């Protein structure tokens, strides 16, 4: 499993240089998208 450190490096270790890493996976999909309206407005503006 790929993991990410606070400074943006990726590794497969639980800890790197004494620092804990977090799982680097996208957030869980949800149909009731709280921020969808804002993303679509921003996309239309650009």
Q: State the CATH number of the domain containing residue 26.
A: 2.20.28
Domain count for the chain: 1
Residue linked to tokens 């921020």: 35
Beta bridge partners of 19: 16
**Do residues 29 and 40 make contact, with C-beta atoms less than 8 angstroms apart?**
no
pLDDT at 20: 87
Per the structure, the complete domain to which residue 39 belongs is given by 3-45
SS3 content of the chain, % helix, strand, coil (to 5): 20, 20, 55
Q: With bands split at pLDDT 50, 70 and 90, how would you rate the model's confidence at 15?
A: confident
Q: Reduced to 3 states, what is the DSSP secondary structure of residue 15?
A: strand
pLDDT at 7: 84
pLDDT digits (tens, 9 = 90+) for 26-41: 777 778 888 888 888 9
Report the distance separating Cα 33 and Cα 27, nearest Å: 12
């Amino acid at each position: 499993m790929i993991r990410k450190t606070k400074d943006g490096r990726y590794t497969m270790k639980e800890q790197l240089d004494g620092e804990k890493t977090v799982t680097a996976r996208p957030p869980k999909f949800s149909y009731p998208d709280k921020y969808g309206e804002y993303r679509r407005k921003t996309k239309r503006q650009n």
